[in-house]
Amino acid sequence: MNNVARETFAHLPTAVEELPRLSRELGGPRILVKRDDQTGLAFGGNKTRKLEFLVAEAREQGAVTLVTGGAVQSNHCRQTAAAAARFGMDCILVLAGERPQRANGNLLLDWFFGAEVVFVGQRSERDRILQQTFDNAAQSGRRPYLMPYGGSSPTGALGYVFAMQELMQQGVIPDWIVFGTSSGGTHAGLVLGQRLHAYPGKILGISIDEPEHWLKSHVSSLATQASERFGSRIEIARDEVLANDAYCQAGYGIVTEAEREAIGLFARTEGLLLDPVYTARAAAGLIDLLRKDYFGEDDSVLFWHTGGQPALFAEQYGDLLL
């Protein structure tokens, strides 16, 4: 596993902490949290682990401009902009949504890092404009490197293969790992990491916005492609991927009572902050499953915190959360 290109800038290993007061409050099994909201790059988050491999690949290819896209409050775009600044590269972000009156949350940070931002009003136009932005950058000699949404290419997924190895090396072997899944790179890395490092527990992705059947095929295919980076292809089957899409009916980025409850519960019992879009939804799913006795009484459940807290300070969420 040592011959894949990587830039090491994340603060690793991230801490694993017990959440005894949350566990008691829910009358549930032992709950742990892995603090990937503390990966060190510009407020951290799961994209930092992916970017160690994405930036390395970009540099190997001689690229000097990182191009990617996402929502206006994208955590991936914020961390990509920070990584570009750190390596003296340019960054162009294609964000789906209107340019807000005032910059806030992640978008404010994108501008601090000097990223150029292209707003795309219509979501359906996003893919086309992203490709066009990349093509224009290439034609004008800016040597761009294109990252998919969420950094979820096979290269990006490598970050979570190594994260699984890190967890094993910390001697933490929970019965369950629960986290929010969306573009699938985190999920794919964890599932491939499970195979490579013989993690005996179960990995359950709570969907933020995608149907279960899409996640199963997309994640298994990403994981299989990522395995080739280690020299031999490992087939990951659809059925090896556990995903639950019962909590995403409201749609991407919509805060409902369930997300609000999760943020309040984690904050009041443990002083731990969730973000409004991803970890609050994943935690809401976890809370519901705990209440339904989905896990065994003697199980340990690790909630893998993927970051995202700068969105708490986005104007669109402020009032909704209290």
Ligand X SMILES: *Cc1c(COP(=O)(O)O)cnc(C)c1O
- Closer Cβ to ligand X, 34 or 187, answer by number: 187
Which of 174/184 has CB closer to ligand X?
A: 184
Closer residue to ligand X in complex, CB, 24/238: 238
**Phi, psi (degrees; rounded to nearest 5) at 200:** -85, -10
* Cβ count within 10 A of residue 135: 13
The residue among 58 and 157 lying less far from ligand X, judged by its C-beta, is: 157
Alpha carbon distance 312, 73 (integer Å): 10
Binding region for ligand X (CB under 6 A): 45-46, 75-76, 150, 152, 180-187, 275, 278-279, 306-308
Q: How far is the CB of 11 from ligand X (least distance, A)?
A: 17
Distance CA 188, CA 223 (A): 5
Query: Cα torsion at 183, 313, 87, 96 (round to 10°)?
Result: 50
Q: Which two tokens stand for residue 131?
A: 């490709």
What distance in Å separates the CA atoms of residue 127 and residue 175, rounded to the nearest whole number?
39
Three-state DSSP state, 115: coil
b (16+ CB within 10 A) / e for 7-46? bebbebebebeebeebbebbebbbbbbbbbbbbebbbbbb
Residue number of the CB closest to ligand X reads 308
Separation CA 86–CA 55 (nearest Å): 10
User: Residue 236 carries which DSSP code?
Assistant: P
- Residues contacting residue 58 through CB under 8 Å, at least 6 positions apart: 66, 89, 145
Q: How far apart are CB 278 and ligand X at their closest, in Å?
A: 3
Residue 142 beta carbon to ligand X: minimum distance, rounded to whole angstroms: 26
The active-site residue out of 74, 183, 207, 300 is 74
Going edge to edge, which strands form the sheet with 242-244?
Answer: 16-18, 30-35, 300-305, 176-181, 202-207, 242-244
What phi and psi values does residue 300 have, to the nearest 5 degrees? -110, 140
Cβ closest to ligand X, residue 144 vs residue 184? 184
Cβ closest to ligand X, residue 75 vs residue 300: 75
Nearest approach, Cβ of residue 143 and ligand X (Å) = 26
| Catalytic site includes residue 74 | yes
CA-to-CA distance for 75 and 311, rounded, in angstroms? Answer: 8
Rounded to the nearest whole angstrom, what is the least distance from the CB of residue 45 to ligand X in the complex?
Answer: 5
Smallest distance, Å, CB 100 to ligand X?
19
Active centre residues (catalytic): 74
